[in-house]
Amino acid sequence: MSVLIAIASAHNTTTSIGQRIATRLATHIPGPVVVRAIAEIPADGVSPYSAVIVGSAIHMASWLSPARKFITHQRTALSERPVWAFSVGVPGTEEYAAKETEKIEAEVRKSVPALRGHTLFRGRVEREQLPWPVALFFKWFPKGSQFGDFVDWEEVDKWADKVGEEMKKETEETR
């Protein structure tokens, strides 16, 4: 089994999470696990892989444009293989995180109806990453938002292990 982890990252947190997922998947499945920026994936770039994970940072409650375009343009290729997705953002409250996760998953499913799973990981946000007007109001929207690194690597590992076990099981069943 070969896996493509296609990433749309704004400040490298999503890339770091994608690389961590790749490392964990490699312990579960035979074959290569490749992490690539979506902008570097050619039009037929999904075809060599038997499974795909798409990850994107969230800005303004939506995936980054390259990720949205990728799943739209690769709709046919993605429908022919198992696909998982993850988002990286800094939701302020659990309620907001749940709503954001649901909204993004619904958007992804428009292009990838058979999506195997989606999760939202907390990311990192620093004041200097945001335009000054946004940074000024950031701590009030959504309620409880703060600057800092909120990546829960144990949560990332747990999700990657779950996906890796699903891939391993599928590989064994097709033998």
Q: In the structure, what pLDDT confidence band is assigned to residue 88 with cuts at 50, 70 and 90?
A: very high
Which of 89 and 9 is assigned the larger pLDDT? 9
Render the burial of 117-131: b for 16+ CB within 10 Å, e for the rest: ebbbbbbbbeeeeee
For residue 108, which of 150, 81, 69 has the smallest C-alpha distance? 69
Question: Do the beta carbons of residue 102 and residue 66 sit within 8 Å?
Answer: no
Q: From residue 64, give the alpha-carbon distance in Å to each of 55, 80, 86, 155, 172.
A: 10, 24, 12, 22, 35
Which domains can be identified in the chain, with CATH numbers?
Answer: 3-161 (3.40.50.360)
User: How confident is the model over 127-150, as a mean pLDDT?
Assistant: 54
For residue 5, which of 36, 40, 45 has the smallest C-alpha distance? 36
Q: In the structure, what pLDDT confidence band is assigned to residue 132 with cuts at 50, 70 and 90?
A: very low
pTM of the predicted model as reported, rounded to 2 decimal places: 0.85
At residue 122, does pLDDT exceed 90? no
User: How confident is the model over 93-116, as a mean pLDDT?
Assistant: 90
